[in-house]
């Protein structure tokens, strides 16, 4: 099946001013769509991050993709030597192969091992939305434990989530600890909770917080990236008995050997955007099982194409044992036809339609592409580029630096 054309389309979508340890999201975020078209006129789509480095890499892959056989993807991966660019293109190639063969993407990955995929409520401290009428959920400011409980209630009532993840590293650790306690009070002491400070705590602070959590009647699944390096995680694991998860310090296969040797992590959070696409995530699933590690799924400010891809990949990963993260409920714009992908009782039904099971709304894509061309957007694809983007966005605050650990 010959690929006739590759199209790279940057878009910008509305995003709430969510807080994290680097600062605050801008209210316009960038994503990049990939379209491949076969000589027979079939179209496959993919989605990835939106920074200039990713766009340049994807546009530079045009000569490699155009004219290739959509089934012969390994040579492309080897020639690109760029897992993120490859991941977006592979997603589009799998989508078009699925459409050509009448098979869903999860079947092309070896077959689904679950019919529905569980997601967690991704809770953020945040500023108030500048246009609350168009917010998808929770437009108000959330900068206290009680306000976070109100936000979580909206997520649970609307989507039925049973697992709650708190983005930490924003308020002081004791206030965030109180937030976890209030969530347990509101949603039950057995409600699975997670906290992700994005490396903002020192080993000493993380140790203190973990020991206090052990004395509280709360259920914590894992601590995600509480401290700012792989070696710091190894030190922390000698002090605490909670599982330690990461998506910051183990982001490619070369990192796994070091993590295992140091005994620094227990759970790797996969991501089809930068682990070599959907097939790379299947390789990761096999690898973590070999080392008896856990695997979950990381999220970013993604649109419906990525949400659909996450569902197919998660459905096909046998070792996946945690509810996946997703920003999707926060997003009020989308590029796919029809209504947003439904999250009900905290789960997404895995589609069995050919390919990804979603199609682009061309009119919306064009509108969001024009917004991208005309606006300043926040785009990043790595921890380093994220810190740089946030530093630029927070430049008017002379006292602010993205320094870790903060506490």
The answer to whether 322 and 221 have CB atoms below 8 angstroms apart is yes
Which of 167, 237, 272, 302 is an active site residue?
A: 167
Closest among 315, 324, 261 to 293, alpha carbons compared:
261
Question: Based on the domain organization, do 291 and 313 belong to the same domain?
Answer: yes
- Locus of tokens 């076969």: 38
The answer to whether residue 17 is domain-embedded is yes
Number of domains within the chain: 2
157 with 44, same domain? no
CA dihedral (266, 403, 85, 79) positive or negative? negative
Write the CATH number for 221: 3.20.20.120
Q: Do 9 and 90 have their domain in common?
A: yes
pTM for this entry: 0.94
Question: Does 406 reside within a domain?
Answer: no
Decide if 183 is inside a domain. Answer: yes
Same-domain pairing of 154 and 46: no
Question: For the CA atoms of the chain, what is the radius of gyration?
Answer: 20
Give the C-alpha separation, 20 to 22, whole Å. Answer: 5
Q: What are phi and psi of 167, to 5 degrees?
A: -75, 115
Report the pLDDT value the prediction gives residue 391, as an integer from 0 to 100: 52
Both 209 and 100 in one domain: the answer is no
Residue 401 lies in a domain: no
Mean pLDDT per 10-residue section of the chain, whose length is 407 residues: 97 94 87 97 97 95 98 97 97 98 98 98 97 95 98 98 98 98 98 98 98 97 97 98 97 96 98 96 97 96 97 98 97 93 97 97 97 78 53 55 83
Q: Do 236 and 244 form a contact (C-beta atoms < 8 A)?
A: yes
Residue 110 lies inside a defined structural domain of this protein:
no
Cα–Cα dist 105/256, whole Å: 27
Q: Is residue 386 part of a domain?
A: no
Calculate the CA 55 to chain-centre distance. 18
Catalytic residue among 106, 298, 302, 404: 298
Distance CA 228, CA 239 (A): 16
Name the strand (E) or helix (H) holding 46: strand 43-49
Annotated active-site residue 404? The verdict is: no
Domain identity same for 133 and 275: yes
Closest among 277, 283, 334 to 105, alpha carbons compared: 277
Given this model, what pLDDT does residue 403 score? 77
Give yes or no: 298 in active site. Answer: yes
Q: CA 61 to CA 45: how far, in whole Å?
A: 15
* Domain enclosing residue 180, as ranges: 116-349
CB atoms within 10 A of CB 316: 25
Q: How many CA atoms lie within 13 A of 47 on its CB side?
A: 24
Output the pLDDT for position 379: 61
Residues 204/224, Cβ–Cβ less than 8 Å: no
Q: How far apart are the first and last CA of the chain?
A: 55
d(CA 336, CA 342): 13
pLDDT at site 229: 96
CA-angle at 255, arms to 249 and 257, nearest 5°: 130
CA distance 302 to 58: 18
Do 266 and 316 lie in a common domain? yes
Helix, strand, coil % in the chain, rounded to nearest 5? 40, 20, 40
Cα gap 294→285, rounded to integer Å: 9
Number of neighbours of residue 102 by Cβ within 10 angstroms: 10
Bridge partner list, 349: 116
Q: Which of 49, 153, 84 is CA-nearest to residue 389?
A: 49
Judge whether 390 and 402 are in contact, CB under 8 Å: yes
User: Within this chain, do residues 96 and 128 fall inside the same structural domain, yes or no?
Assistant: no
CA pair distance 244, 256, nearest whole angstrom: 14
Q: Verify that 211 and 299 share a domain, yes or no.
A: yes
The confidence score (pLDDT) of residue 381 equals: 46
Helix (H, G, I), strand (E, B) or coil at 60: helix
Q: What is the pLDDT of residue 299?
A: 94
Q: Which of 244, 222, 242 is nearest to 233 (CA)?
A: 244
Whether 92 and 121 share a structural domain: no
Distance separating alpha carbons of residues 96 and 4, to the nearest angstrom: 12
Does 261 share its domain with 345? yes
Instruction: Establish if 54 belongs to a structural domain.
Output: yes
**Does residue 78 form part of some domain?**
yes
Residue 4 sits at φ, ψ, to 5 deg, of -90, -35
Beta carbons of 129 and 17 less than 8 angstroms apart: yes
Q: Are 101 and 160 contained in the same domain?
A: no
* Continuous segment of H or E residues that includes residue 10: strand 3-14
CATH number at residue 50: 3.30.390.10
């Amino acid at each position: 099946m010959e690929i006739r054309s590759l199209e790279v389309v940057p878009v910008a979508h509305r995003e709430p001013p969510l807080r994290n340890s680097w600062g605050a999201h801008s209210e316009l975020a960038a994503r990049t769509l990939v379209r491949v078209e076969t000589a027979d006129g079939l179209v496959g789509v993919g989605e990835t991050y939106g920074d200039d480095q990713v766009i340049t890499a994807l546009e530079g892959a045009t000569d490699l993709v155009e004219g290739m056989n959509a089934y012969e993807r390994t040579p492309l991966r080897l020639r690109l030597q760029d897992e993120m660019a490859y991941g977006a293109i592979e997603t589009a190639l799998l989508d078009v192969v699925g459409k050509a063969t009448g098979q869903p993407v999860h079947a092309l990955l070896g077959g689904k091992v679950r019919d529905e995929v569980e997601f967690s409520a991704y809770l953020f401290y945040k500023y108030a939305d500048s246009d609350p009428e168009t917010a998808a959920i929770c437009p108000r400011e959330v900068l206290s434990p009680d306000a976070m409980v109100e936000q979580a209630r909206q997520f649970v009532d609307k989507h039925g989530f049973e697992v709650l993840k708190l983005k930490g590293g924003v308020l002081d650790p004791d206030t965030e600890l109180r937030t976890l306690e209030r969530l347990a009070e509101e949603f039950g002491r057995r409600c699975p909770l997670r906290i992700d400070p994005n490396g903002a705590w020192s080993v000493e602070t993380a140790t203190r917080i973990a020991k206090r959590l052990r004395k509280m009647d709360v259920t914590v699944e894992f601590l995600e990236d509480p401290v700012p390096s792989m070696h710091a995680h190894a030190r922390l694991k000698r002090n605490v008995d909670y599982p330690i998860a990461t998506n910051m310090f183990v982001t490619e296969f070369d990192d796994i050997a070091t993590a295992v040797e140091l005994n620094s992590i227990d759970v790797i959070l996969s991501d089809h955007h930068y682990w070599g696409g959907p097939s790379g995530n299947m390789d990761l699933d096999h690898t973590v099982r070999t080392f008896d590690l856990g695997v979950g799924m990381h999220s970013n400010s993604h649109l419906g194409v990525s949400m659909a891809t996450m569902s197919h990949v998660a459905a096909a990963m046998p070792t996946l044992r945690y509810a996946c993260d997703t920003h999707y409920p926060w997003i009020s714009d989308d590029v796919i036809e029809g209504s947003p992908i439904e999250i009900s009782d905290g789960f997404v039904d895995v589609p069995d339609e050919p390919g990804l099971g979603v199609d682009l709304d061309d009119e919306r894509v064009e509108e969001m592409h024009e917004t991208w061309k005309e606006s300043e957007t926040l785009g990043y694809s790595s921890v380093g580029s994220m810190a740089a983007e946030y530093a630029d966005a927070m430049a008017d605050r002379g006292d602010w630096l993205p320094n870790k650990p903060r506490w």
